[in-house]
Amino acid sequence: MEKEMIIVLDFGGQYNQLIARRVRECNVYCEVHSYNMPLEQIKEMNPKGIIFTGGPNSVYGEDSASCPKEIFELGIPILGICYGAQLTAHLLGGKVATAPVSEYGKTEVEVDTDSKLFEGVSPKTICWMSHTDYIEKAPEGFKITGTTPVCPVAAMECEENNWYAVQFHPEVMHTQEGTKMLSNFVYNVCKCLGEWKMDAFVERTIGEIREKVGSGRALCALSGGVDSSVAAVMMAKAIGKQLTCVFVDHGLLRKNEGDEVEAIFGPEGQYDLNFVRVNAQERFYEKLAGVSDTEQKRKIIGEEFIRVFEEEAKKIGKVDFLVQGTIYPDVIESGLGKSAVIKSHHNVGGLPEHVDFKEIIEPLRMLFKDEVRKAGLELGIPERLVFRQPFPGPGLGVRIIGDVTPEKVRIVQDADAIYREEIDKAGIAGDLGQYFAALTNMRSVGCMGDERTYDYAIALRAVLTSDFMTAESAELPWEVLGKATSRIVNEVKGVNRVLYDCTGKPPATIEFE
């Protein structure tokens, strides 16, 4: 598909996606594949370079991830990172051993700036190390281009064959000049041109969709989240009225969100598509009445969503294509075998069983989240939608502890809207990974004027996170918390107390359910 591509071969390292993202940030298209991808297939893809990731194994382990030595004979530049560097040394006749002391964390590495890999990098540069084995002796023909007091071979290369290896992780941000090194690899060594740009991608994908769909019809479940919105707009630009978007309002959206989605995608909006809004609030509230178990709530919401969507789809009749907002991390996570991290939760939606369609279209399948956002901007989608924070498929259903009632939804919607407004006003939204209000199931005594109250406590949460797998509670300025608190207790009926969640993930989760 792409003329110019770098392949990341994944040996089970936790940073496989990060390497690909960094390479793409250098405007070079990059895909992640399993370490056991057959050489024939690699050849067919004709990559400009290959990067071996780190991994949890030792090269001497019995079932350690490895690849055929012949990969070095393909004439394609190779960069080995951490385990990938050790594997390079091992396969080419060097020596890997257990290091006398493990190196972990930020480490100063002395590098040879005459190397193509370290061009423009400081001679002493801070890099992120995380290893117990190390390369004790470089293979013959290799030059040592980096050392630390512990590592005799922190970097090595065989320039003639375009083989490079680094013990540290250039892809993580703690390696201060890591992006420069990766950029040097793709430009100086692999001679890439840097053709991966979002505008070109968007234009080409629109053309491909048009060709694929022909005169057929497509159906898209629109949630108002970033992925489904960008997918829908891309489809709409390609096939206009041949697309129908179904937006199910389950009554668990943030305040005014349903109307906002309708304003953008509905008949008054800027796109030429068929938009169906289903106001299914009552149905969801009925199904959820009296249910307080979280997993059961999630299940009910997910299933009901599919039922509503199917009913709408039936009204539309047979469609040729079902559009899904799948993005590249989902593809990597579900398809790479050894290192696969299977997602523990699913979006509301899933795949409906009773919708009559021929094929699935996933226009964002090859994009990382930040690229989806860039594509969204290219497509002219409003910034407030493109930079929307993640919102769980089951919506406020998982931000209300205990059973869900319309009254509780109203309380959490109002409190959340105030909290978000105050964070926006303080100008700190961009620093936070995710922030929201949740409704605890706790009621307690308070006093309002001369009256005794017995009302709910709202919990405010704000976290810093880069991957949503771990997070720390954000130290919000007291002023912001104070302002939000006083507005919530004054403006939201039914609340007399506001708490701030100081817990990280782990041990808590980001959501408050």
> Which span (42-50, 178-186, 284-292, 505-513) binds ligand XMP, by CB under 6 A?
505-513
> Which span (17-25, 85-93, 380-388, 391-399) binds ligand XMP, by CB under 6 A?
391-399
Q: What is the DSSP string of 242-267?
A: GEEEEEEE-S-SPTTHHHHHHHHHST
Is 122 annotated to bind a ligand? Reply is no
Residue 314 binds to ligand XMP (criterion: CB under 6 A): no
Q: What is the DSSP string of 116-176?
A: GGGTTS-SEEEEEEEEEEEEEEPPTT-EEEEE-SS-TTSEEEEGGGTEEEESS-TTSTTST
Task: Determine which residue in the list 47, 77, 363, 392 makes contact with ligand XMP, applying CB under 6 A.
Answer: 392
The count of chain residues that interact with ligand XMP, using the rule CB under 6 A, is 12
Task: Determine which residue in the list 47, 363, 394, 397 makes contact with ligand XMP, applying CB under 6 A.
Answer: 394
Residue 208: CB minimum distance to ligand XMP, A? 27
**Catalytic residue list contains 190:** no
Stretch 416-435: interaction string toward ligand XMP, x if CB under 6 A: ------------------x-
CA–centroid distance for 147 within its chain: 34
Residue 202: CB minimum distance to ligand XMP, A? 24
Residue with Cβ nearer ligand XMP (147 or 434): 434
In three-state secondary structure terms, 439 is strand
Closest CA to 350 of 324, 368, 389: 324
Is 226 annotated to bind a ligand? Reply is yes
Is 228 annotated to bind a ligand? Reply is yes
Question: What residue type is assigned to position 182 of the chain?
Answer: L
Residue with Cβ nearer ligand XMP (196 or 305): 305
Residue with Cβ nearer ligand XMP (369 or 487): 369
Name the residue with tokens 């502890």. Answer: 401
Residue with Cβ nearer ligand XMP (139 or 393): 393
> Which span (23-31, 289-297, 309-317, 504-512) binds ligand XMP, by CB under 6 A?
504-512
CA distance linking residue 71 with residue 89, whole number of Å:
13
Closest CA to 221 of 336, 351, 106: 351
Stretch 98-127: interaction string toward ligand XMP, x if CB under 6 A: ------------------------------
Question: What does each C-alpha distance from 61 to 65, 129, 233 come to in angstroms?
Answer: 9, 21, 49
Order of strands, sheet of 274-279, starting from the edge strand that comes earlier in the sequence: 274-279, 243-249, 218-222, 321-323, 359-361
Q: Are 95 and 137 in contact (CB under 8 A)?
A: yes
Q: Are 387 and 429 in contact (CB under 8 A)?
A: no
Residue 136 binds to ligand XMP (criterion: CB under 6 A): no
Residue 510 binds to ligand XMP (criterion: CB under 6 A): yes
Q: Which of 26, 82, 192, 220 is catalytic?
A: 82
Q: What share of the chain is helix, strand, coil (3-state, %, to 5)?
A: 35, 25, 40
**Beta strands in 375-502, from DSSP E residues, in sequence order:** 434-448, 451-464, 472-473, 495-500
Residue with Cβ nearer ligand XMP (271 or 309): 309
Residue 229: burial class (beta carbons within 10 Å; 0-12, 13-18, 19+): buried
Is 130 annotated to bind a ligand? Reply is no
Span 461-490, contacts to ligand XMP by CB under 6 A: 468
Residue 435: CB minimum distance to ligand XMP, A? 11
- Residue 467: DSSP 8-state: S
**Catalytic residue list contains 171:** yes
Q: Which two tokens stand for residue 399?
A: 């931000």
Q: Which of 169, 245, 304, 378 is catalytic?
A: 169
Is 229 annotated to bind a ligand? Reply is yes
Residue 390 binds to ligand XMP (criterion: CB under 6 A): yes
Residue with Cβ nearer ligand XMP (9 or 301): 301
Q: Which of 171, 257, 304, 378 is catalytic?
A: 171
Secondary structure in 3-state letters for 350-388 = CCCCCCCCCEEECCCCCCCHHHHHHHHHHCCCCHHHHCC
**Catalytic residue list contains 82:** yes
Residue with Cβ nearer ligand XMP (57 or 228): 228
Residue 345 binds to ligand XMP (criterion: CB under 6 A): yes
Residue 505 binds to ligand XMP (criterion: CB under 6 A): yes
Residue 376: CB minimum distance to ligand XMP, A? 17
Residue 509 binds to ligand XMP (criterion: CB under 6 A): yes
Rg of the chain over Cα atoms, rounded to whole angstroms, equals: 26
CA distance linking residue 9 with residue 53, whole number of Å:
6
> Which span (105-113, 266-274, 311-319, 385-393) binds ligand XMP, by CB under 6 A?
385-393
Residue 296: CB minimum distance to ligand XMP, A? 14
Residue with Cβ nearer ligand XMP (442 or 508): 508
Residue 282: burial class (beta carbons within 10 Å; 0-12, 13-18, 19+): exposed
Q: Which residues bind ligand XMP (CB under 6 A)?
A: 345, 347, 390, 392-394, 434, 468, 505, 509-511
List the binding residues. 223-229
List the binding residues for ATP. 223-229
Residues involved in catalysis: 82, 169, 171
